[in-house]
Chain A
Amino acid sequence: MIVTKPRDWARIKANLESIDAKSVFLMGCGQCATVAHTGGEKELAVAKARLEADGYQVTGWAVGEVACHLGGTKLETRKHFGSVDAADAVVVLACGAGVQTVADAVKKPVFPGLESAFLGTVLRSGVYEERCQTCGDCVLDLTAGICPVTTCPKGLLNGPCGGMWNGMCEVQTDRECTHVRIKRRLAEQGRSATRVIPAKDNSVKLKPGSINTRERKGQ
């Protein structure tokens, strides 16, 4: 999931002050930000109380099913049209995609209420680890399901680097070297890892990414 963390409150306030906003509509997300405890109903209630304590009027709040789904978010904001319309600004407690989707769905100034951290795994409640760069050129087939692009601090496809010491990472010295983990898991599975992984094709990840599965053949 997309892991988010709270944005510096002073920055949120500075954003609101920049347009002289007095009233705010809050939006969360029923998916990742709810699971990460950063943009669910509870966190929206906390943000509402905090805004009110700082003198803002909170005209309403909503946690849509998926903030980054344009159709769903348009529907959600339409359901709350009155309170959105009464607000000077909308603060979104969701990832960057969610914030942009809300910004497309409403005509009000929209500000991010969270920082998007990474695409990762929930190891246990409140503990997250980055796992994927969405690079579009997956090597997990060759690396025993452990992503070196993400979990090696240098993103080396062929490792370890010269800094590995007793199997531990040079950069994050309390972590095992990703390449050592990969080779161990491959060995445990009886798979060989002698081939060199070629350089990545960065062209598949040129921004902005766009996929349209609706395009018909021949069109």
Chain B
Amino acid sequence: MSRLRDALDRGEFVITGEVAPPHGTDYSAMRASLDTLGPLCHAINITDNQGATLHLSSLAASKAALEAGYEPIFQQTCRDRNRLALQSDLLAAWTLGLENVLMVTGDDPRSGDHTKAKGVFDLDSTQLLAVAKGMNEGVDMNGSELTGATGFLLGGAMFPEAEPWEIQLERAVQKAEAGATFFQTQAVMDTDKLARAVDALAPYGVKLIASILLLKNGRVIDFVNTKLAGMMIPDHIGSRIKGAADPMAEAIALATEQVREIRDIAHGVHVMPLGADDVVERILEGAGL
């Protein structure tokens, strides 16, 4: 039984984190990250060639996380595989004991390290969610019966701060109707907008896990603003960190405030410490978790 599903069903405030598989075959850095974040979280996202840059597959790394004693959220992007490969990997994931899946579109190959790659996008994330929901019901995308169904907890991504909001909301509703039962958001900067999203999606019975990003220095802020798709750090937050005597301490204080606020609004928090895994425990404790 998925611990994440269990906690969400019980109405417990959940904590998720994420680790990146290695760019190579040496799991030691990922393992170290898992050993720091894993004990603090209900589940850990295992990213899928994030930022369109080459990493070991999320499928294998998710299995490795499971074997290490942590509960993974297997991420699948639509960028690198067609509908046959996506379905085949989903079947494989279930047999490997992976119970949580997050379906995302995926960054465009032009933004990654293999800029000459072809983006597949045979399915989009809404369609992929519907396919996975079908697999939970025992059929493949063609409606053909599977010899053994899956039983995934299905998640999608959404961005509470995206404008135009009506279009973002419509998209999230589509994903919920396609099969998503939880959402993980992009990093939240404005908790009023997070509350707006939680309220708007409440009728669909989906749970929202809001992300926070540890803005540990000015460089990270500039990186997010220039390199990360669909993200912008507002000036008041940027200047708070950049102007602080100790930016890391300020970032921890900010993250702690954010988690505390999110706790009153959303169903969980997703922590993205950008390498500073060792401060996550302090942030969560500071926020009363």
Contacts and interface: CB of A to CB of B under 8 A. Distances in A.
A171 interface: yes
A166 B79 CA distance: 23
B174 A196 contact: yes
Interface in A129-174: 153-167, 170-171
Contact of B104 (A157, A160, A162, A170): A162
B121 interface: yes
B168 to A, nearest CB: 7
Nearest to B156: A162
Contact of B126 (A158, A165, A167, A193): A158
Contacts, number: 93
B230 A155 contact: no
Interface in A178-219: 179-180, 183, 193-194, 196, 198-200, 202
Given A163-B230, A196-B127, A180 B119 contact: no
B130 A163 contact: no
Interface string B162-185: 111011101101100110000000
Interface residues of B, number: 40
User: Secondary structure at chain A's binding surface: helix, strand, loop or mixed?
Assistant: loop
B119 A193 contact: no
B74 interface: no
B29 interface: no
Contacts of B167: 160, 179-180, 183
Interface in B121-155: 121-127, 130, 141
B157 interface: yes
Contacts of A159: 124, 171
Contact of B162 (A158, A165, A194, A196): A165
B121 A154 contact: yes
A180 B164 contact: yes
Given A162-B157, A162-B229, A199-B83, A157 B124 contact: yes
A183 B167 CA distance: 7
Given A155-B121, A156-B121, A171-B108, A162 B186 contact: yes
A154 B162 contact: no
A199 B178 CA distance: 13
Contacts of A153: 108, 110, 119
Among A160, A161, A196, A202, the one with the most B-chain Cβ atoms within 10 Å of its Cβ is A161
B33 interface: no
Interface string A53-69: 00000000000000000
Contacts of B232: 165
A30 B125 CA distance: 44
8 contacts: A156-B124, A158-B174, A159-B124, A162-B158, A162-B230, A164-B168, A165-B232, A194-B170
Given A165-B229, A183-B164, A196-B177, 14 more contacts: A154-B78, A159-B124, A162-B104, A162-B162, A163-B108, A164-B168, A165-B232, A171-B110, A183-B167, A194-B170, A196-B130, A199-B122, A200-B122, A202-B122
